[in-house]
Chain A
Amino acid sequence: MTTDIRSSIETLKQHLIYLGTVVEEGIKNSIKAVRTLDPVLAAEVQAADSKINALEVNVEEDCLKILALHQPVASDLRFVVTALKMNRELERIGDLAVKVADKVILLNTVQKHDVNPDMIIVPADFEPMFATTLSMFSQLLDAFVNEDSDLAYRILIQDDEVDTAKRHIRKQLDEIARKDPKQQVYHTLLLSIARGLERIADHTTNTAEDIIYMLQGRIVRHEDHLL
């Protein structure tokens, strides 16, 4: 057992970064699975979830150990508290990536029974949504690793882009259904995927706010992000 808080915190940081990269892989794969409607890749995302859960427990234990043994204060305290919150958010993001993957598998079964299986029309705004959500998450890891609060602030602003994309997707789905009513059967699933990604972006934003607290000691959760 280490008696030095610095090395305990460094270990915690490494564990959290590792959890972050596994979750990032999950988001990437679930997005790729949506793009290609690939049920095999979607199943991989589902399978990776137990690993994420185990890592989450591990990080929580790291945090509790530091709190109990070192009674951290100031930046150390903010780091551990942020790690606890971030840990939970990352695990939730992992769950959401699995939910997106679930829908890909369901889309495949719907395809098989539908009259016109190859004709799923995916709304155009999914692409910017994929790109922004993924980029927000990788910026999040960068902001955490490099202790970059400016980058964390930039993540907050991008959340609006994802929300807008989701609204557009909803409209586009309505339009597609009006033109071709048979498409309706995919809509709940596609909308769920959009909602899943939107929530991934929300949790990413929450975590960016936690990182700002960690770095600056400022709680920005209920402030206007653009100010």
Chain B
Amino acid sequence: MNSQPSIVAIDDPIVQVKELSLFYGQSQALFDLTFDIPRHQVTALIGPSGCGKSTFIRCINRMNDLIDGLHTTGVIRLDGNDIFDRSVDVIDLRRRVGMVFQKSNPFPKSIYENVIFGMRIGGVTEKPILDETVEKSLRRAALWDEVKDRLHDSAMGLSGGQMQRLCIARAIAVSPEIILMDEPCSALDPKSTAHIENLIRDLNGEYTIIIVTHNMQQASRISDYTAFLYEGELIEFGETKKVFTVPVKKATEDYITGRFG
């Protein structure tokens, strides 16, 4: 994998990654990543397990800060500002960069309280604003019709697919600019997956979505851009329709056609 990566230029990037390397103690997990992530588009990260996809997206909202012995070099700019800068308020960064995980993680509270959890932390108390946010976010997450009559029931009674959409609603409620998704459909059945995928397509244009997926068909269906990572290196980044029809790098070709990985 020593050859130069193939990376397309982006006109209006929201995130600019420059020479990003990441180390867990002595061992290096990400190698010199440099690419731009387009605003209001869906970018998929693909690659074999352990290639650094999740590690990479956790850099963007500094989720990795909590891990002992981890350090990074290089720069990630969000709208031009270095997110690793001392002056950055990490809480504010995580409001701007929301996250949805592989396993849905609603709080053991009502559906209503789950959606406005972030706003409550932010100090919002006015009921009309909270009500409006709940309805707007749940509608946006295509969950409103299914739960509008039981907003005060526990979120734990929802189905897996509904819980995941609730987590998306919760992420949307604080009006983030970016939503990171770490294999959001891997625990869902095909119908719930289709629901989430439609939702992702629907949010496209309004939010920047960066999604990690092991499902090649999913990446090709929902994303505008695809980044292929292999052993911590960025091999190829380009328009999804190009990557899945005429990939530039042989390693990408081999991976997406199932020749390895």
Q: Which residues of the partner chain B approach A72 to less than 8 Å between Cβ atoms?
A: 257
Q: Which residues of the partner chain B approach A75 to less than 8 Å between Cβ atoms?
A: 253, 257
User: When the two chains form their complex, are residues B246 and A73 in contact, meaning their CB atoms are under 8 A apart?
Assistant: no
Whether B245 sits at the interface, judged by CB under 8 Å, is: yes
User: When the two chains form their complex, are residues B258 and A77 in contact, meaning their CB atoms are under 8 A apart?
Assistant: no
Could you tell me which residues of chain A, from 136 to 178, have a CB within 8 Å of some CB in chain B?
A: none
User: When the two chains form their complex, are residues A74 and B217 in contact, meaning their CB atoms are under 8 A apart?
Assistant: no
Closest to A70 in B: B258
Closest to B247 in A: A74
| Residue of B245, B247, B252, B253 contacting most chain A CB atoms (<10 Å) | B245
Q: Which residues of the partner chain A approach B258 to less than 8 Å between Cβ atoms?
A: 5
Could you tell me which residues of chain A, from 52 to 87, have a CB within 8 Å of some CB in chain B?
A: 71-78
| Distance in angstroms between the alpha carbons of A74 and B236 in the assembled complex | 14
Interface size class of B (residues with CB under 8 A): 10 to 19
Q: Which residues of the partner chain B approach A216 to less than 8 Å between Cβ atoms?
A: 246
Interface size class of A (residues with CB under 8 A): 10 to 19
Q: Which residues of the partner chain A approach B144 to less than 8 Å between Cβ atoms?
A: none
Out of B216, B217, B245, B256, name the residue touching A78 (CB < 8 Å). B245
User: When the two chains form their complex, are residues B245 and A77 in contact, meaning their CB atoms are under 8 A apart?
Assistant: yes
User: When the two chains form their complex, are residues B245 and A76 in contact, meaning their CB atoms are under 8 A apart?
Assistant: no
Number of A-B contacts (CB under 8 A): 29
Rounded to whole Å, the gap between the CB of B249 and the closest CB of chain A is 11
Give B250-261 as 1s and 0s: 1 = Cβ < 8 Å from A's Cβ atoms: 001100111000
Give B224-247 as 1s and 0s: 1 = Cβ < 8 Å from A's Cβ atoms: 000000000000000000001111
Could you tell me which residues of chain A, from 178 to 227, have a CB within 8 Å of some CB in chain B?
A: 216-218
| Distance in angstroms between the alpha carbons of A76 and B246 in the assembled complex | 10
| Distance in angstroms between the alpha carbons of A72 and B257 in the assembled complex | 7
| Distance in angstroms between the alpha carbons of A217 and B257 in the assembled complex | 15
Whether B220 sits at the interface, judged by CB under 8 Å, is: yes
Closest to A72 in B: B257
User: When the two chains form their complex, are residues A77 and B244 in contact, meaning their CB atoms are under 8 A apart?
Assistant: yes
Rounded to whole Å, the gap between the CB of A131 and the closest CB of chain B is 35
Q: Which residues of the partner chain B approach A217 to less than 8 Å between Cβ atoms?
A: 245-246
Q: A217-B245, A217-B246 are in contact. Are A76 and B257 (CB under 8 A)?
A: yes
| Residue of A5, A72, A74, A216 contacting most chain B CB atoms (<10 Å) | A74
Closest to A71 in B: B217
Q: A71-B217, A73-B216, A73-B220 are in contact. Are A78 and B257 (CB under 8 A)?
A: no
Rounded to whole Å, the gap between the CB of A169 and the closest CB of chain B is 41
Closest to B242 in A: A217
Q: Which residues of the partner chain A approach B247 to less than 8 Å between Cβ atoms?
A: 74
23 A/B residue pairs, CB under 8 Å, sorted by A: A5-B257, A5-B258, A71-B217, A73-B216, A73-B244, A73-B256, A73-B257, A74-B244, A74-B245, A74-B246, A74-B247, A74-B252, A74-B253, A74-B256, A74-B257, A75-B253, A75-B257, A76-B257, A77-B244, A77-B245, A78-B245, A217-B246, A218-B246
Give 7 new A-B contacts, CB below 8 A, not counting A73-B256, A216-B246.
A71-B217, A73-B245, A77-B244, A77-B245, A78-B246, A217-B245, A218-B246
A-B pairs, 3 with minimum CB distance: A217-B246, A73-B244, A73-B256
